[in-house]
């Protein structure tokens, strides 16, 4: 007989399998499960409309390839030829451009419909992810196609976009200072290199890769979608020929009345102001004006993750409920997203952005809309007199409490970020250093003092191993030697940090496998290769971490902690970016930010209080049953 524990494990596995099978069976790529609803409700025809327009875009694109030449020298001229010399070339190009826009509009409207109508219930949460993928593929297909015109606006918009991935190198735990002896894994830089080539510049390699990606974003998904329809037997486009003709005719009319723009030939030496992308990325570009690039990049990654999680969160909070007025958290989130996108797009079109005064307003709006949704949702629980419904609402109150707690933690992090002008990565690393500091004993204070001296002397202390291995006179050698001595101090966790890879443990491997790319990314290796007589195979510095302190110092986490402490203690002056006047740290938090910071904490308290109240109703429920029985 299997044990109780094994039975429980098997039961959990079977439940997980059933959960997954249900959601896979309910996958709905283009509203194929809503064909009856589409007959009376046009919003449920958005999926078939997307698929129809996709075919129009693909067909027009394949025709354009006949004359398009994807080279720097000929791309713009080939567009001119298509537009003005090829019969119906302008119309075909217009169908391609406005069809792509129609795809994005249909995908966006479909996403909002799915949230507002709760089309992810019951057991259809994966459909939100499918809808998001179709939207993102449409947007990035449009983005890659945008550059192919090779005009001034597209060139500079792509140049701005191309810098975004590089900021991933500054994310907490994987930034420029992680694995410092090879200047990190360069995940962000390598992503940009993959997209653009040529060291991250906009060159012939870029247009070649964008042309390939532009085709891949449409052709590869189309193959998988066709296999899906072939296997399931669903009708691909359940629209009659009248509706298909109307949609196609609308695209033709727009393409004739508003010919697709060509613009001016790209000029790398002249920067247009403002730099504008195509319309669907305008709101995102405005957000990047307001934020430090690394923070904006982090938010850009958080947005799609949040979209995927919302159906599950809503299911935990409201159960099978589909009425949008009884799901205010989702309602307020949708309203917030739409208003932010519309206003940000408006501001960038008219080149309106005060990066010093505007952010507190939209930060407060963003978070307070979520807080209003939480409190509104809680109010519905408070008004419900049904004890059973209150009991069921306990889990939802707990989930909302966790959401509000995340906002409260974000507010706490923002508080220190605003007061010290340090961003998420250094703040996180400062906190991590503080957690590990008790294990360092007195060596922690010694490391911090040595780092302060090195910063004052303007020496690259984090490369102390290479500096000392070179021999001769080293700038601030006494300070560098002191850092080396501190980094050799032992702690209980040294064995763990010695396992952190640096990829340069074997000197002979370095000499035998050195590449020009490695030399660009690690100047210290270049020095070794330029001075072979100065380094024997055994004299190349030990590039393995010696332990906890070495890791914290070499990755500048100790430096982040020192900077944070000195600024919070008022030992450093800042310079006001507006008037250039010196300001003492810590700085003041903008008054408007206190609204959302306090609002999140208040929503958290109310949510956890509601959870306790619902749990109390759960405990009182069994006691009420005997009384009812005796009364009968």
E-assigned strands of 116-213?
A: none
The encoded tokens of residue 119 equal: 């089309």
Out of 164-168, 279-283, 327-331, 493-497, pick the least confident: 164-168
CB neighbours of 575 closer than 8 A, spacing ≥ 6? Answer: 581, 582, 583
At residue 624, the pLDDT reads 47
The encoded tokens of residue 393 equal: 């609402």
- 21 SS3 class: helix
- Do residues 428 and 560 touch, judged by C-beta distance below 8 A? no
Fold entry, domain 17-164+203-265: Cytochrome Bc1 Complex; Chain C (1.20.810)
Residue 56, Cβ density class (10 Å: 0-12 exposed, 13-18 middle, ≥19 buried): buried
Q: What angle do CA 12, 17, 20 make, to 5 degrees?
A: 125
Residue 274, Cβ density class (10 Å: 0-12 exposed, 13-18 middle, ≥19 buried): middle
Instruction: Return the top range by mean pLDDT from 182-196, 203-217, 542-556.
Output: 203-217
% residues pLDDT > 90 (the chain): 46
Q: What is the pLDDT of residues 24-52, one digit of tens each?
A: 889 999 999 998 888 889 999 999 999 99
Q: At what angle do helices 387-420 and 593-631 cross, to 10 degrees?
A: 160
Distance CA 424, CA 626 (A): 56
More confident site: 462 or 624: 462
Cβ atoms < 10 Å from Cβ of 268: 12
- The yes-or-no verdict on residue 483 having pLDDT over 70 is yes
Distance CA 525, CA 504 (A): 10
Q: At what angle do helices 477-487 and 443-457 cross, to 10 degrees?
A: 150
Q: Token match 């390839």: residue? A: 65
Q: Token match 């970016």: residue? A: 577
- Do residues 439 and 493 touch, judged by C-beta distance below 8 A? yes
- 414 SS3 class: helix
Q: How many helices, marked H, and strands, marked E, lie in the chain?
A: 26, 2
At residue 405, the pLDDT reads 97
Distance CA 405, CA 411 (A): 10
CB neighbours of 357 closer than 8 A, spacing ≥ 6? Answer: none
- The yes-or-no verdict on residue 562 having pLDDT over 90 is yes
- Do residues 93 and 260 touch, judged by C-beta distance below 8 A? yes
Out of 255-269, 361-375, 413-427, 521-535, pick the least confident: 521-535
Band of residue 365 on the pLDDT scale cut at 50, 70, 90: very high
Out of 309-313, 485-489, 541-545, 599-603, pick the least confident: 541-545
Terminal C-alpha separation, the chain? 45
Mean pLDDT of the chain: 84
- 117 SS3 class: coil
DSSP output for 533-574: GG--TTTS---S--SHHHHHHHTTHHHHHHHHHHHHTT-SEE
More confident site: 413 or 541: 413
Question: Could you tell me what percentage of the chain is helix, strand and coil, using 3-state DSSP and rounding each to the nearest 5?
Answer: 70, 0, 25
DSSP state of 589: P
Out of 143-147, 279-283, 574-578, 627-631, pick the least confident: 627-631
Distance CA 536, CA 580 (A): 51
Backbone angles phi, psi at 70, to 5 degrees: -80, 65
CA atoms within 13 A on the CB side of 130: 21
- The yes-or-no verdict on residue 582 having pLDDT over 50 is yes
- The yes-or-no verdict on residue 462 having pLDDT over 80 is no
The encoded tokens of residue 507 equal: 């000197």
More confident site: 144 or 4: 144
Distance CA 156, CA 267 (A): 9
The encoded tokens of residue 550 equal: 């070495």
**How long is the chain?**
632
Using left for φ > 0, alpha for ψ between -120 and 50, and beta otherwise, residue 89 falls in alpha
Band of residue 527 on the pLDDT scale cut at 50, 70, 90: low
Cα 392–chain centre separation? 34
CATH 1.20.810.10 in the chain: give the residue spans: 17-164+203-265
Out of 109-123, 138-152, 250-264, 542-556, pick the least confident: 542-556
Instruction: Return the top range by mean pLDDT from 4-13, 123-132, 169-178, 468-477.
Output: 123-132
In order of 122, 397, 404, 496, 614, the CA distances from 391 in angstroms are 20, 10, 21, 46, 5
- Do residues 67 and 78 touch, judged by C-beta distance below 8 A? yes
The closest of 357, 409, 373, 329 to 601, measured between CA atoms, is 409
- The yes-or-no verdict on residue 229 having pLDDT over 70 is yes
- 275 SS3 class: coil
The closest of 310, 302, 345 to 331, measured between CA atoms, is 310
Cβ atoms < 10 Å from Cβ of 410: 16
Band of residue 292 on the pLDDT scale cut at 50, 70, 90: confident
What average pLDDT does range 128-150 have in this prediction?
91
Q: What is the pLDDT of residues 90-129, one digit of tens each?
A: 999 999 999 999 999 999 999 999 999 999 999 999 999 9
Distance CA 618, CA 610 (A): 12
At residue 554, the pLDDT reads 82
Q: Token match 């101090």: residue? A: 489
Band of residue 528 on the pLDDT scale cut at 50, 70, 90: low
- The yes-or-no verdict on residue 552 having pLDDT over 80 is yes
DSSP output for 415-454: HHHHHHT--HHHHHHHHHHHHHGGGGTTHHHHHHHHHHHH
The closest of 56, 54, 78 to 65, measured between CA atoms, is 78
CA atoms within 13 A on the CB side of 185: 10
The encoded tokens of residue 557 equal: 């986490």
The encoded tokens of residue 292 equal: 């430090």
- Taking the model in full, what pTM does it have? 0.84
């Amino acid at each position: 007989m299997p044990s109780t524990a094994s039975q429980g494990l098997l039961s959990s596995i079977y439940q997980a399998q059933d959960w997954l099978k249900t959601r896979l069976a309910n996958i709905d790529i283009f509203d194929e499960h809503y064909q009856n609803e589409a007959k009376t409700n046009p919003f449920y025809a958005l999926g078939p409309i997307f698929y129809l327009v996709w075919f129009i875009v693909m067909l027009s694109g394949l025709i354009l390839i006949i004359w398009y030449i994807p080279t720097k020298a000929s791309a713009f001229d080939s567009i001119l030829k298509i537009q003005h010399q090829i019969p119906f070339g302008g119309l075909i190009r217009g169908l391609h451009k406005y069809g792509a826009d129609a795809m994005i509009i249909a995908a966006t409207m479909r996403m909002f419909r799915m949230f507002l109508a709760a089309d992810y219930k019951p057991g259809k949460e994966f459909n939100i992810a499918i809808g998001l993928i179709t939207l993102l593929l449409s947007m990035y297909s449009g983005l890659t196609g945008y550059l192919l015109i090779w005009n001034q606006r597209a060139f500079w918009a792509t140049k701005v976009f191309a810098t975004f991935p590089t900021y991933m190198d500054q994310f907490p735990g994987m930034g420029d200072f992680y694995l410092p002896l090879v200047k990190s894994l360069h995940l962000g830089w390598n992503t940009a290199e993959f997209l653009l080539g040529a060291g991250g510049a906009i060159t012939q390699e870029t247009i070649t890769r964008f042309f390939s990606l532009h085709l891949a974003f449409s052709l590869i998904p189309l193959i998988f979608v066709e296999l899906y329809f072939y296997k399931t037997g669903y009708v691909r486009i359940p629209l009659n020929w009248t509706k298909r003709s109307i949609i196609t005719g609308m695209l033709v009319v727009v393409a004739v009345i508003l010919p697709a723009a060509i613009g001016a030939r790209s000029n790398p030496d002249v920067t247009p102001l403002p730099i504008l992308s195509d319309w669907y990325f305008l709101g995102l570009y405005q957000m990047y004006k307001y934020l430090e690039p690394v923070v904006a990049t982090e938010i850009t990654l958080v947005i799609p993750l949040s979209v995927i999680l919302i159906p599950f969160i809503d299911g935990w909070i409201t159960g099978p409920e589909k009425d949008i007025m009884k799901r205010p958290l989702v309602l307020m989130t949708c309203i917030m997203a739409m208003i932010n996108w519309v206003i940000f797009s408006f501001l960038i079109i008219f080149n309106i952005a005060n990066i010093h005064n505007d952010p507190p307003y939209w930060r407060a709006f963003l978070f307070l809309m979520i807080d209003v949704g939480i409190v509104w949702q809680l109010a519905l629980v408070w008004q419900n007199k049904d004890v059973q419904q209150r009991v069921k609402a306990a889990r939802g109150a707990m989930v909302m409490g966790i959401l509000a707690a995340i906002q409260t933690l974000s507010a706490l992090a923002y508080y220190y970020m605003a007061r010290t002008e340090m961003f998420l990565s250094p703040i996180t690393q400062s906190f991590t250093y503080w957690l590990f500091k008790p294990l360092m004993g007195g060596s922690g204070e010694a490391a911090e003092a040595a780092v302060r001296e090195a910063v004052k002397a303007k020496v690259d202390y984090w490369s102390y191993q290479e500096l000392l291995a070179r021999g001769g006179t080293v700038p601030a050698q006494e300070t560098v030697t002191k850092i080396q001595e501190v980094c050799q101090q032992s702690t209980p966790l040294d064995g763990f940090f010695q396992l952190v890879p640096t990829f340069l443990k074997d000197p002979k491997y370095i000499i035998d496998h050195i590449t020009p790319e490695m030399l660009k990314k690690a100047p210290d290796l270049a020095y070794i290769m330029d001075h072979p007589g100065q380094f024997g195979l055994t004299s190349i510095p030990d590039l393995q971490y010696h332990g906890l302190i070495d890791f914290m110092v070499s990755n500048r986490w100790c430096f982040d902690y020192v900077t944070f402490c000195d600024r919070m203690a008022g030992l450093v002056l800042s310079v006001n970016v507006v008037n250039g006047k010196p300001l003492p740290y810590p700085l003041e938090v903008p008054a408007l930010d206190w609204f959302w910071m306090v609002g999140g904490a208040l929503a958290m308290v109310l949510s956890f209080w509601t959870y306790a109240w619902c749990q109390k109703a759960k405990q009182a429920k069994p006691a009420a049953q005997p009384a009812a029985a005796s009364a009968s």
